[in-house]
Structure 1
């Protein structure tokens, strides 16, 4: 049989300290020496993937090699070692068994003494080498992640591109300094928002004036920037871009990183990280927005209401008052009397379209003020009482939570034992004490047991999460109300921080929906 050889070579950053020994030149030298000593092997082509990870097979030269196999150009592949072919356990096993052995493609890994034409040795060596290479990649991934997080915790900037408004210090790529041209635009965006312009309106103004959006700005600066969040045709300012800038703490000198992470060391996909797991370091670089300005903007963003001072006739109830019957906003009406102006609120539908659509739902502002003030004080008093006794948390939830923790510990121990049993059986397989059929049967049983424990763990974790969520809501309710027990007047700030909406009904009922409520009451 004629063995038409494709020599495959790969090098990536994951090779770490072994880059010298794993260099392309060294791999090529070893393959050539091997071929010189095996005259039956004829080199047809060489495939080199330099700078590609071994955790997936999305590599240009690897794809070309597989096409050449399909075309019958080569029927033998030679690599320096198995890790050059790939480090992912599942995919590398599938590749060798399904694509090589079944299709009678000979594969040789020189340093590992693997030759798929030597079936007796391959049955033991190949699985172990694949497993070892997978563990190596996982270990490297963990170390890289730990090193990057260590830098993040020091306040170093980790990223290919600086946030809009900043640039990397030419003397230190992990330090941010203001980019004055872009920083001026960021300051203007904050100022416009404080002046009452909405996020969409700000975007339209910037687009009309021809001001480059962050993506186009970076490209103009010759940065090879790609924004994964936007469509390729979106080269203009958008609502979401303005929103991200207004809510980014980087502009007050704080570094907020680790907002997403890879799903797994061997997958490309990323997932969002919960806010509580962000890595935040304060005062790492020069601020371009004052902290006081930023805090005011955050309160306005969270309120989801119109900005105070936007219109001449705006009141502290702007965006909060609704008709309880038709759902439309209540509009302010000013009536002149001998004693001065009296302010009423009436249904917007009634005011605009008349009684055929809805009734007036009229209520005087001073009456509304008294009702809202009394309701807030009652809620605050209830919160103060709950803070003192806190019955729900201390009696009803502590004992079952302790029991759940005990059950989770037992599950964790059982999972550890199963993993140990797996390792023991793997060693027995390697020593020839059991055959592969027995090992596979045992593996199936263990996998079933693991799934049962994982399901139990998921149920308990979900229960814990729900309980913790309730307790968090209870605590937020207390903390946000206890300071308002003795207030004698209300302000816009109090209303926006505590109230979602106020519904006024024609029968004079008023229902106030608070942002915070204890789930236990």
Structure 2
């Protein structure tokens, strides 16, 4: 049988239950309680469901047969232990991943973006042609061009997008303008915060230029929070959709 913390999320397990209801099987033999299901409540529910259709379960590792009077007590104990062990393992894995992110050793930092490629030593290498496009995008934006106009300029010059298409999406340009990797940082956003590594690789633009663009983006945004606490679109000369004036 497959293992998993969510017993009833497994197609094969559900099929077994259905076969039991149809009388196709009369006994289930499984390696251990932990493989039958790591959630104590689900294990007992499944055992009861099978028992109600005349099917008993035998757990080889614990030598427990669901037909025995004391089986429910033992199943509860071993299921609880398996669940606790699984939770502890999960927490240890998460701690290890988070630790590697914090100390900068996580391979997550080695994900390249447009303008870079990775060599055999996992070092970021600048792609000259793409780096030129990145610098141009930042420069155009800071000179007052909207994302829509930058998109039109790139397409007019037949510059291929990061995906190799002739059309650029506004989203792609906005992501480039917001990506701190271009000034030498590597950034990982997690559930408990954002982790950054400075001087991780050769920058394409300066940190000063990046910060100026972020300030400009905040000033140009066409979304504001109203008195009602909701987000509203406002009319600006950079908006692709302007609010009609009454």
2:170 matched to which residue of 1?
Answer: 239
Q: How does 1:100-119 map to 2 (within 5 A)?
A: 100-118=50-68
* Larger relative contact order (Cα-Cα within 8 Å, sequence gap ≥ 6): 2
Q: Secondary structure at the match of 2:70?
A: helix
1:259 matched to which residue of 2?
Answer: 190
Q: 1:197: how far off?
A: 2.2
**For 2:90 and 2:75, how far apart are their aligned partners in 1?**
23
Contact 1:157–1:255, Cα closer than 8 Å, also in 2:
no
Q: How does 1:335-484 map to 2 (within 5 A)?
A: none
Q: How does 1:57-456 map to 2 (within 5 A)?
A: 57=7, 58-59=9-10, 61-66=12-17, 68-69=19-20, 72-97=23-48, 99-118=49-68, 120-159=69-108, 162-165=111-114, 166-172=116-122, 176-179=124-127, 182-206=130-154, 209=158, 211-213=160-162, 216=163, 237-260=168-191, 273=192, 277-304=193-220
**For 2:43 and 2:167, how far apart are their aligned partners in 1?**
44
Distance 1:302 1:123, change over 3 A: same
Contact 1:9–1:80, Cα closer than 8 Å, also in 2:
no
Distance 1:138 1:72, change over 3 A: same
Aligned length: 224
Q: Which ranges of structure 2 fall in alignment gaps of 5 or more residues?
A: 223-233, 237-244
CA offsets 1:418-475 (integer angstroms, 9 cap, x no match) = xxxxxxxxxxxxxxxxxxxxxxxxxxxxxxxxxxxxxxxxxxxxxxxxxxxxxxxxxx
Counterpart check, 1:56 vs 2:6: yes
Q: Secondary structure at the match of 1:83?
A: helix
**For 1:9 and 1:108, how far apart are their aligned partners in 2?**
15
Distance 1:292 1:162, change over 3 A: same
1:453 matched to which residue of 2?
Answer: none
CA RMSD of aligned residues (A): 3.6
